[in-house]
Structure 1
Amino acid sequence: MAAENSRAEISSQSSSAGDNGSVDSGFVSPNSSTGNLPRIILTKAHLDHLNKQLESLHPVEILKFCKIFFPNLYQSTAFGLTGLVTLDMLSKIEKESPNPQPIELIFLDTLYHFQETYDLVERVKARYNVNIHIFKPADVNTTEEFEKLYGEKLWETSGELYDWIAKVEPLERAYSELKVAAVFTGRRRSQGGQRGQIGVIELDEERQIVKINPLVNWTFDQVKNYIKEHDVPYNVLLDRGYKSVGDWHSTVPVGEGEDERAGRWKGQNKTECGIHNKQSRYAKWLEQTARQRGQRVSAS
């Protein structure tokens, strides 16, 4: 029975129309929006076993294992230092492989990144032979179009709405359109905040995605030293006191002794932008917003 409970099952067949893709003990893909995904089941016992085995491995070994184990695998990145190290390691793995199968990237262009970040994306394209899938907020291509629809400084007037439009919805659209089953992320425990207890492999049960954190055990100095040693292109904002770079309107340099991500949403009770929070938080928020909008219409 124990062996049965810790079993991982991978099948190339899609679920039937009546299968809602839910398993109480673990993770299942597909669901209604990703019906063509391979079927992946990881029970909690198997997940614990995998994390125990992977915990002590070098990130390169984690990457090699996950490339074999997980289908429909992508790298989600905002081109932070950890993501760049992961990209460089994957590039080296591909060069050594007799049958290269490059991991493609997902980049969320919120339209409010620093110019230095956009410049970095171009340098990454020039350095690595990698396909980058760029997803922007729906129905807009520029900040001018965004602000025409939603007004200026939406991140101040309605932070939850901004997160949903600029980050959460584009990421979920990427998962659906690309039929993503698993993603590499750049999260590390040393970044602080909600990330202090994350494992190598996590299950986002609401979005039905496997999240893999290959450098989860590395410190900022280890990441920075790898960047320097291997001459990996990086965001020049690092040299100006930034350690974690997001949108220009919500990112500042980090002070001495502060957590690595202390410069994100400075002064706010917030450590994540939404893409690593539970989906239900936004589902509830959307429901509440729709209800309030309906009440205003009725009152008028």
Structure 2
Amino acid sequence: MADDSRTETSSQLSSPGDHGSVDSGFVSPSTSTVSLPRISLTQPHLKHLNKQLESLHPMDILRFCKIFFPNLYQSTAFGLTGLVTVDMLSKLDAESTNPQPIDLIFLDTLYHFNETYELVERVRERYNVKVHVFKPADVATVEEFEKLYGEKLYEMSSELYDWVAKVEPLQRAYAELKVAAVLTGRRRSQGGQRGDIAVIELDDERGVIKINPLANWTFAQVKGYIDEHKVPYNALLDRGYKSVGDWHSTVPVGEGEDERAGRWKGQDKTECGIHNKQSRYAKWLQQQAALKQQAQVQQVQQVQEVQAA
């Protein structure tokens, strides 16, 4: 994707020079590097806010969030819900005498559909919005990624792929941009782990506030807004897709299937990683380290047996 003055790309490693290690970037389960959130909300206060926001229109939720939350960004893969949010934010800026645009964070896994990259450019140009693009560390192309991690990492190690292509870049984005609160495109009607999300959530592991302004909207409401306001959207939606991710893990949705049924079809998986607990990846790292140590011990034992023979 071409970069210009309105697009910022980052590919800094959190641990420079460590990219040859499978566990590069992970934090040991016994090591705490989580900082206190830049916004402090007690659970009673959070519950109160969610109760008040639950019945509001997403525009009103966004209007409130722009006032209440400092260092506010929108993280988006340019799905329909995220596009509605972008359009609503632009309308809020248009009605303000002192517009304060919300920048976008886009995780370029390098495996997005061409239609997605084209959409990013169309949205950036129409709304004149700044897009901060974060790619997997130390790589800029699929060729470089596969040279470093091998072909089809997404099949060989789904957890590692999620970390390298999505989780680590997002955490790097949070750190570099000093994100305090982030708007997401999650909705309850998408099902799975999203079925009971609140409008405002505290990601206490990453130290940020997550805001789901369209949490209680249905797919029909989202699509209706897109059509009514002529919001640009991914061309793949007209070909049977309802949720678009990487090309290797996204297929069209069948008649009567859930909105996200085309994501990781046939796999026991509903999230890409950025909305999973960070501790899940720490646990995964611990397991990988144990397996590696076990293999090393077995190798030493085999050498000793050969020498003793």
TM-score (norm 2): 0.84
Measure how far apart 1:231 and its partner are.
0.8
- Structure 1 residues 157-177: Cα deviation after superposition (integer angstroms, max 9, x where no partner): 111010110011000010011
Match of 1:147 in 2: 146
What is the distance in 2 between the residues matched to 1:88 and 1:238? 18
Q: 1:204 corresponds to which residue?
A: 203
Give, in angstroms, the shift of residue 32 of structure 1: 5.3
**Percent identity, aligned pairs only?**
78
Runs (4 or more) in structure 1 with deviation over 2 Å come to 31-35, 290-300
Aligned-partner residue type, residue 220 of structure 1: F
CA contact (8 A) 1:34 1:179 kept: no
* Counterparts of residues 205-244 of structure 1 (less than 5 Å): 205-244=204-243
Q: How does 1:84-233 map to 2 (within 5 A)?
A: 84-233=83-232
Distance of 1:237 and 1:127 partners within structure 2: 19
CA RMSD, aligned part only? Answer: 1.4
In the alignment, the residues of structure 1 paired with residue 262 and residue 273 of structure 2 have an alpha-carbon distance, to the nearest angstrom, of 17
Which AA in structure 2 matches 1:223?
Answer: V
How many residues in Structure 1 have an aligned counterpart in Structure 2?
268
| Residues 33, 176 of structure 1: 8 Å contact kept | no
What is the CA-CA distance between 1:256 and the residue it aligns to? 1.1
Distance of 1:187 and 1:246 partners within structure 2: 14
Q: Which runs of 5+ in 1 are unaligned?
A: 1-30
Contact 2:34–2:207 (Cα < 8 Å) also in 1: no
Distance 2:213 2:207 in 1: 19
**Which AA in structure 2 matches 1:235?**
N
1:294 Cα offset (Å): 3.4
- 2:246 is matched with 247
Aligned to 2:41: 42
CA distance in 2, matches of 1:219, 1:43: 30
In structure 1, what is the Cα distance between the partners aligned to 2:210 and 2:152?
31
Conserved? CA contact 2:34–2:205, under 8 Å: no
Counterparts of 1:45 and 1:253, CA distance in 2: 42
Separation in structure 2 between the aligned mates of residue 127 and residue 202 of structure 1, nearest angstrom: 30
> In the TM superposition, what whole-angstrom CA distance separates every residue of 1:17-61 from its partner, at most 9, and x where no partner exists?
xxxxxxxxxxxxxx95768x7x42111101110000000000000
SS at match of 1:203: strand
Cα displacement string for residues 81-126 of structure 1 (whole angstroms, at most 9, x for unaligned residues)? 0000000000110111111110000000000000100010111111
1:65 partnered with 2:82: no
Q: Which amino acid aligns with 1:54?
A: L
Quote how far apart the aligned CAs of 1:208 are: 1.1
Q: Which has the higher contact order (CA 8 A, sep 6+)?
A: 2
CA distance in 2: counterparts of 1:98 and 1:298, whole angstroms: 68
SS in 1 for 2:159: helix
The 1-side partners of 2:88 and 2:78 are apart by: 14
For the pair shown, the structure with the greater C-alpha radius of gyration is 2
Q: Tell me, what secondary structure is at the counterpart of 1:40? A: coil
Alpha-carbon distance between aligned partners in 1 of 2:154 and 2:200, rounded to the nearest angstrom: 31
